[in-house]
Structure 1
Amino acid sequence: MLDTLLFPLEWFVAFVMVSFHNLFTAIGMRAESGWTWALSIAGLVVVLRILLIPLFVKQIKSSRRMQLIQPELQKIQKKYKGKKDPESRQKMTEETMELYKRTGTNPFSSCMPILLQSPFFFALFRVLNNLDEMAAGKREPIGLLTQELASQAETSTLFGASLSSTFLGSDQLSVKILTVVMIILMSVSVFITQHQLMRRNMPAAALDNPMAKQQKYIMYIMPVFFAITGVNFPIGVLIYWVVTNLWTMGQQFYVIRRMPTPGSDAEKALEARRRAKGKEIKKLSIPGLNSSSDDDDDAVEPDGEKVSLTKTGAGSSAAKKSGQRVQPASNKRGKNQKRRKR
């Protein structure tokens, strides 16, 4: 059953890896080199993450919406705090779901990129774990990954370590050293990603809510998780994991700089940069949450979000719409108008 479900994903993984392998050999890299296969695995990560960009954008928008509705969520929780009867719990759940529906917020959207990427991770694990059987002819080739290429990938080495070797399954010192280095890189990249998310992209008021506590737990637990599980994975899978984490770290840095959470230090830094360049200050709001989001100067995005545009200088709303500068009326002109009325 599992073989049937994962076969299409294994075929896709093998197709992408072999395609990148052919590309790298065409530009002069050695076909049997471990570096060629390692870069092919990195290419697989790039393809997957590019395909997941639309979901990642939805994840970011969902996270920003969750931050914006936190005050309303806290009001609901405070309203029913200490009430443990089933009726109160039911009402709190109904009001929470109504808030999600009114503001178009999906608390589960932030998990989608990770959930969708996990099957490909396990498919790569199975492909690399079965290279020896494919090379020996005991297992059918997968797509473009022929018996010859499987044998080539199985015998290729990176710093003297085979890509299909594991920390616990090998006595080679090179395998153990490379595995430890990979685990450290994975742990450091995840820690930096979570740290910049909490310190720069969360409002001070949000650091005490359950979501922030969850992020804090992830920041400290993930390195332990990598250390426990990493010793069981082939080096090729660890390469995939390291490249994925580095991509996530860079992507997170870009998002925090360009699409920060409202009320965070990153948003203040973005506003300061835009103010220094004389650009408009954009404030995100959600229809159904803030009454101020219905202003005429708001730009409505396709997904229902509104961005309030504020000029970085003095001027009326009419001037903002027309783009013309409003000339201030002098005191002398005002006095002349009063005399005419008399």
Structure 2
Amino acid sequence: MDDQNKNLLIATALSFAVILVWFVLFPPPEPTVNPDTAVPAASDGTTPTIATTPDTAPGSTAVVDQTGPAAVEDAPRVPIETDRVIGSISLVGGRIDDLSLKNYRVELEQDADIVHLLNSVGSQSPYYALFGWAPGGGLTLDDVPSASTNWTVESGETLSQNSPVTLRWENPNGTVFRRTIEIDEDFMFTVTQSVENASDTAMTMAPYGLIARHGEPTDLKNFFILHEGVVAMADGTLAEIDYSDMTDFAVVPTEGARAEVTQVTESGWIGFTDHYWMTTLIPEAGTPFRQVAKYSDASNIYQTEAVQPTVTIEPGQTREVTTQLFAGAKEWETIRDYQEEGVDRFIDAIDWGWFFFLTKPIFWLLHHLNLLIGNMGWAIIGLTLIIKAVLFPLAYKSYVSMAKMKELQPEMEKIKERAGDDRQKLQQEMMEMYKKEKVNPASGCLPILLQIPIFFSLYKVIFVTLELRHAPWLGPFQDLSAPDPTSIFNVYGLLPWAAPEPGSLLALVFIGILPLLLGVSMWMQQKLNPAPTDATQAMIFAWMPWVFMFMLGGFASGLVVYWIANNTITFTQQYLIMRSQGYKPDVFGNIKSGIKRNPKTGEK
């Protein structure tokens, strides 16, 4: 076996092994469950137990709110409508519990339902935001508004951009609580809570905001490559907590549930992240607060809280505090803009993974290529061209070395004859020849090895970023985040019905156009060199492209487009460089030779 073929075999086998392990550990995700038909998570119908005072607050107690579904469903509502969202605010608790994203649909079809993000108590999957004040210093629950308080509208009719709404409630002592809610052109709510102390004594209380979720999301993917659950930033430290980890929290008596508490000194945020959507509480920058991630065993409710320091309002004094709530799509540009406006490291709410140093620049480049070209499929191909251009100096050295190895093939055969069975002598003479001719036999592996982390990083980008969701390319490929939708069953996209379900046995057997092109591109790349003379090695080479074809057939079609483009460019580069060095690959001759061989034994 010559060293060039040996190195190529090692590199190919290594990349095959890595992708195989990746495929086993991180298989393509199961199809998303339609929330309209999903079985709702278990819930007792009540709102959560809310620990709303900081540890330093005098008389700190948990506020238990048992507002039932009927009270919320029958309550008056304030409409929410902008160019991007639509929903309503319940006047019971002043909760933001009804919100849909007008620019996003559940399915690819144009008439599919728009994405419903927040839901009220009594729905299949209650998910909402609450704000309020926790009593301290001798105050009782009757002195402050709770999640069951009936608010009135003081000003505003519909919450929209540049049109805020103010809610009002007065306690038995005449103290007035107001809540002014604003929304911008995207997904950021600004909630300003104020207290006007009309009593003759000082009042001590702590402002809070919380996001409650009854049960796990019905469309939870439970996919290793994707984080879904709590996402939080505390003074520059990112925390990601899965739902399953929350149920293992230790019980904290002061919280009345299983909880993890973090004290933030300067800046941070906390909330829940889904695959493409997110809700996040963001206190004012520079304000210390307590982050709480909480799970209640009794009610099966997951909760995040931002509890700010206790304040004292003197008689006749008015105090106010402002908290922002992001509730919407994890659009890179939108989140980046909020970060530039002061939300600390908000871009990290997107799950970039361990290889963030690769995934972030890869996505940045892909995003701007898409803006320039106007098509994500062509942007992926453009990204491939740029990556290959960056790696070209290394590829050039590698292919030049491979061409020289071909020229040295007769000399290598002579050395093998002289050395016979003396392996030490063989290796010694080979190394002397490599040194003399300035050839590195391992250089052929490097381009393949460098492609592995890039491949994984691009897979992460394609799977987790919203910009790839429902991104069209051409023909039947209208969602590059989904597997190839073509198959022999729909005559490769010519007929209107769907291909077999991704992940099924039929989908693995009757693969689509893109996996076929992937297999052919790998096969053509192999044919730049003659088949190895060793029967076992020849058999492995013969089957490798088709094994990869079936393995990657269920991956996101955008990733397969990248791999096809990468193979095509690599073939072209290698062919031209090897010819420039005096070696002329006999592609068609190698194809004919391969056809004559027995695919099981590699023999002619």
Please give the TM-score of this superposition, normalised by the length of structure 2.
Answer: 0.33
The equivalent of 2:391 in structure 1 is: 52
Return the alpha-carbon distance in structure 2 between the equivalents of residues 39 and 186 of structure 1: 17
Higher strand share: 2
> Out of 543, 551, 559, which is 1:221 matched to?
543
Residue number in structure 1 paired with 2:469: 154
Asked if the contact 1:166/1:175 (under 8 Å) is kept, the reply is: no
Larger RCO of the pair (alpha carbons < 8 Å, separation 6+):
1
CA contact (8 A) 1:183 1:227 kept: yes
Shift of 1:228: 2.9
Number of the residue aligned with 1:76 = 415
1:185 aligns with 2:517: yes
1:154 counterpart letter in structure 2 = R
Q: CA deviation at 1:122?
A: 0.5
CA RMSD in angstroms, aligned pairs only: 3.4
Quickly say closer, same or farther: Cα 1:175–1:77, change in 2 above 3 A.
same
Contact 2:376 2:468 in 1 (8 A): yes
Which residue of the other structure, out of 98, 102, 105, is the alignment partner of 2:439? 105
Q: Counterpart of 1:116 in structure 2: which amino acid?
A: L
Answer with 1 or 2: which has the greater Rg. 2
Q: Which residue of 2 aligns with 1:23?
A: 372
Distance (Å, rounded) in 1 between the aligned partners of 2:372 and 2:501: 27
Q: Measure how far apart 1:186 and its partner are.
A: 1.3
Distance 1:181 1:237, change over 3 A: same
Aligned amino acid, residue 468 of structure 2: A
SS of structure 1 residue aligned to 2:512: helix
Give 1:16 deviation, angstroms: 1.1
Distance 2:402 2:477 in 1: 43
Distance of aligned partners of 1:252 and 1:174 in 2 relative to their CA distance in 1, 3 Å threshold: farther
Which amino acid is the alignment partner of residue 470 of structure 2? T
- Does structure 2 retain, via aligned residues, the 8 Å contact 1:62–1:110? yes
**Matches of 1:226 and 1:241, distance apart in 2:** 11
Runs of 4+ in 1 over 4 A off after TM superposition: 2-5, 174-179, 207-210, 216-219
User: Which string of whole-angstrom CA distances, capped at 9 and with x for unpartnered residues, describes residues 15-72 of structure 1?
Assistant: 1101101212xxxx4xxxxxx1111111110110111111121112101221222222
Question: Deviations along 1:96-134, whole A, 9 cap, x unmatched?
Answer: 212211211110111111111221111011112223xxx
**Alpha-carbon separation, structure 2, partners of 1:22 and 1:102:** 51
Percentage of matched positions with identical amino acids: 28
Q: Is the 8 A contact 2:359 2:457 kept in 1?
A: yes
Query: What residue ranges of structure 2 are gaps of 5+ in the alignment?
Result: 1-224, 226-351, 486-496, 588-604
Partner of 1:198: 529
Q: Deviations over 1:176-229 (max 9, x none)?
A: 68962011111222223332x236xxxxxxx7666x995x55652233222331
Pairwise CA distance, 1:80: 2.7
Post-superposition offset of 1:91: 2.3
Could you tell me which amino acid in structure 2 is paired with residue 224 of structure 1? W
What amino acid is the match of 1:69? Answer: L
- Asked whether 1:173 is paired with 2:490, we answer no
Q: Does the CA contact (< 8 Å) of 1:192 and 1:249 recur in 2?
A: yes
Deviation at 1:175, TM superposition (A): 7.9
The answer to whether the Cα contact below 8 Å between 1:166 and 1:179 also exists between their aligned partners in 2 is no
Question: Which position in structure 1 is the counterpart of 2:311?
Answer: none
**2:440, 2:451 → 1: CA distance?**
19
User: Corresponding residue for 1:130?
Assistant: 464
Post-superposition CA distance 1:245-292 (Å, at most 9, x none): 222233344335544417x769xxxxxxxxxxxxxxxxxxxxxxxxxx
Question: d(CA) in 2 for partners of 1:129 and 1:37?
Answer: 14
Note closer, same or farther for the CA distance 1:208–1:233 as it changes in structure 2 (3 Å cut): closer
> Which residue pairs with 1:38 in the alignment?
377
Shift of 1:239: 0.8
Amino acid at match of 2:387: L
Q: Quote the Cα distance in structure 1 between the aligned partners of 2:398 and 2:513.
A: 31
Contact 1:161 1:174 in 2 (8 A): no
* 3-state SS, counterpart of residue 162 of structure 1: coil
Alpha-carbon distance in structure 1 between the residues aligned to 2:513 and 2:525: 18
Distance of 2:411 and 2:571 partners within structure 1: 30
Rate the CA distance shift 1:106–1:213 in 2: closer, same or farther, 3 A.
farther
Secondary structure at the counterpart of residue 482 of structure 2: coil
Secondary structure at 1:118's aligned position in 2? Answer: helix
Considering fraction of residues, name the structure with more helix.
Answer: 1
Contact persistence 1:45–1:240 (CA under 8 A): yes
Give the aligned partner of residue 14 of structure 1. Answer: 363
What do residues 119-171 of structure 1 show as CA deviations (whole Å, max 9, x unaligned)?
1111011112223xxxxxxxxxxxxxxxxxx2x42132442552222369xx9
| Aligned match for 1:163, one of 477, 480, 485 | 480
- Structure 2: how far apart are the matches of 1:252 and 1:128? 28
Structure 1: which amino acid aligns with 2:409? Q
Query: Aligned equivalents of 2:570 and 2:501: distance in 1?
Result: 26
Change in CA separation of 1:98 and 1:209 when aligned onto 2, cut-off 3 Å: farther
Letter paired with 1:94: Q
Contact 2:400-2:578 within 8 A present in 1 as well = no
Give the whole-Å Cα distance in 1 for the aligned partners of 2:431 and 2:367: 47
Q: Give me the whole-angstrom Cα distance separating, in 2, the residues matched to 1:213 and 1:55.
A: 30
Residue type at the aligned position of 1:119:
P
**Is the CA contact 1:160–1:174 (under 8 Å) kept in the aligned structure 2?**
no
Which AA in structure 2 matches 1:198?
N
Any conservation in 1 of the 2:518–2:549 contact (CA below 8 Å)?
no
Q: Distance in 2 between matches of 1:97 and 1:218?
A: 27
